[in-house]
Chain A
Amino acid sequence: MSALLEIRGLVKRFGGLNAVDGVDLDVEAGEILSVIGPNGAGKTTLFNVTTGLYPPDGGSIVFDGHNLVGLKPNQVCSLGISRTFQTVRLFPNMTVLENAMVGQHCRTRSGVVGAVLRLPHTRAEEQSVRGRARDALSFFGSRLAGYREDQPAMALSYANRRRLEIARAMATAPKLILLDEPTAGMNPKETEEMISLIGKLREERGFTIVVIEHDMRLVKGVSDRVVALDYGRNIAEGTFEQVSTDVRVIEAYLGKGAVKAG
């Protein structure tokens, strides 16, 4: 049986730099995979190319039987992949609820005619959109619910903004969620919470998740499997224990001397 997401030999060049240099990646349905590597290893670029932000310069990406190469980001989203960003990219002046409702865009269809005439189909759809958005928000308990719904997104605290971004991604009803450094800038307690949250995302909602992370506590806490990248190439793959003790990985993070010292 083929994996949910199959990436083979992916290449992406920026000017003279090979940001992604022949990466292979398989993501099985229902698993939580972490992608780690030092800064500049090409992790975010991997996400960007997979979701259609940049066209790849080589290689193939197959998701759920569909070829993703050449698709635009919105098409990738409707196929079932959604993501969060390294620097949170919410819609700052739209309310919390509206941000989540935007997520439902690719699952709904009403257009100008429906909007203007308030056809029953459109009204029902709006109700459903609202409901599903609230449902995504409720995943985070009371933090994004109640009176918070009507607050502009920029008024939220940093951690809540990250949570809202995840809620928005959830609202797109994806099969696969890509989380880019979800705990960047969070304190240990919030990181702990995120670990259980990501687990719940899989257990309760059934999403397949790929996480880019630097915080090894999170990687250890959530991952079924870990893939390590450096200079745009795979350097290791396996469970957290296997990868974290892999010589090449330690070298990539800490330099050649570290192995001998460690």
Chain B
Amino acid sequence: MTEQSGGSVETAVRPRAAVLAERFPIHRVALVAVAVLVTFGVVTGSWKTIAQGGVSGAGWRTFVVLGIDQGSIYALIALGYSLVYGILLMINFAHGEVFMSGAFASYFVAQSLDSKGLLTRDPIPSLVLLFLTAILVSMSVAILLERVAYRPLRNAPRLVPLITAIGASLFLQYTFSGFFGSDAKGYPSVKALEGTIDVGGFPVSRTQALTIIAAIAMMIGLSLFIARTRTGKAMRAVAEDKEIASLMGININRVVVTTFAIGGVLAGVAGVLFALTFSEVDSFMGFVPGIKAFTAAVLGGIGSVSGAAIGGLILGVAESIGPVLLLTGIHVPATNQLRDVVAFTILVLVLVFRPGGILGTGEPDKA
């Protein structure tokens, strides 16, 4: 027949291997094993912790509120990732720095206001000014990023913009630390935001209340914007199919810039809220929240607004309650060190098992 009909020995060997693989799909077995282990760990750990009663009811409630608070911030940042990914199919790795830049800029304004006592005397106009500053700066950084680093690479193979984004993230972090110093700056506190409110038995600090309310408000605003305005419609069109959208007369560049700008606005707001909550800013503060926000975005299903919100919420609460709940029971010391591990583990698990997000289809998009 042919010069080499499949090579006598080789094909004899291969089909047997193929048949074996058919009967013992190692890959699937491994995945199931991991899933079982994780579930087992979660259940056992939680059970033991609750049984031992090391944390009081009030303690749990504080954790929950903390989780929702953090989750709100994550959600705001996550929206930036989601929107950009929906339109450009790229992960804006430097979005954490967009967040940081707004917070940082607002720090200077806060300092100045505080030194004049305005933070205490006129908290509301002061806060508004802080938010506006952060929004302005974050938006500018985001737009600059798009223009300088991403636009030239619109048609490049997918790894190229990602590497550029990593470079941009590094660059921004160290630019800020070069300009303003690498030490952490203490963010002045606003008297009006001190104190706790009791919400149905849950202790909520005023700052936390502001955070949660602001986040909800912005998310509702964004949803309405995307659903009702022309620009929003254009954004949805471009996210569906860039080429067709441009054929329909939509200016792609303008839509992309708008998307980045909106992401910047949300990140700026998140930045001020974060600074108010943790009372400090530094040029490296964007990295970890950035990754966690990305986790939240993927968790809820990247590309969707409600997904980012839900993802943020789940991540925040899981991160807050998780380590304590799962690990104190089995006597793991200093569980709060491991909060980041919870977030990263969720990241890995979601991307590996369900990259479409918990609301998604469960199948990775083959884009």
Residues of A near any B CB (own CB < 8 A): 66-67, 70-72, 75, 78-80, 106-109, 132, 135, 173-175, 205-207
Contact = CB atoms under 8 A, between A and B. Distances in A.
Contacts of B1: 206
A78 B3 contact: no
A75 B6 contact: no
A108 B7 CA distance: 9
Interface residues of B, number: 16
A107 B7 contact: yes
Contacts of B22: 67, 70-71
B10 A107 contact: yes
A78 B19 CA distance: 12
Nearest to B7: A107
A106 B4 contact: no
The 5 A-B pairs of least Cβ separation, nearest first, read A75-B18, A206-B1, A78-B14, A173-B4, A107-B7
Nearest to B361: A15
A107 B18 contact: no
A173 B2 contact: yes
Nearest to A70: B22
Contacts of B6: 78-80, 107, 173-175
B5 A135 contact: no
Main secondary structure of the interface of B (DSSP, over half): helix
B18 A173 contact: no
Interface string B7-34: 1001100110111011000000000000
A51 B15 CA distance: 14
A117 to B, nearest CB: 21
Contacts of B18: 66, 71, 75, 78-79
B14 A75 contact: yes
Nearest to A107: B7
B7 A173 contact: yes
Nearest to B18: A75
Given A70-B22, A75-B18, A78-B18, A207 B2 contact: yes
Nearest to A52: B18
B10 A109 contact: yes
B15 A205 contact: no
B9 to A, nearest CB: 9
A78 B11 contact: yes
Contacts of B19: 66
B14 A106 contact: yes
A135 B4 CA distance: 12
Contacts of B5: 173, 175
B365 to A, nearest CB: 13
B7 A79 contact: no
A132 B4 contact: yes
Contacts of B17: 75
A131 to B, nearest CB: 10
Contacts of B2: 173, 205-207
A80 B11 CA distance: 8
Given A67-B22, A80-B11, A107-B7, 17 more contacts: A66-B15, A66-B18, A66-B19, A70-B22, A71-B18, A71-B22, A75-B17, A75-B21, A78-B18, A79-B6, A79-B18, A80-B6, A106-B14, A132-B4, A173-B2, A173-B5, A207-B2
B296 to A, nearest CB: 28
Nearest to A76: B18
A78 B22 CA distance: 15
Nearest to A135: B3
Contacts of A106: 10, 14
A111 B178 CA distance: 49
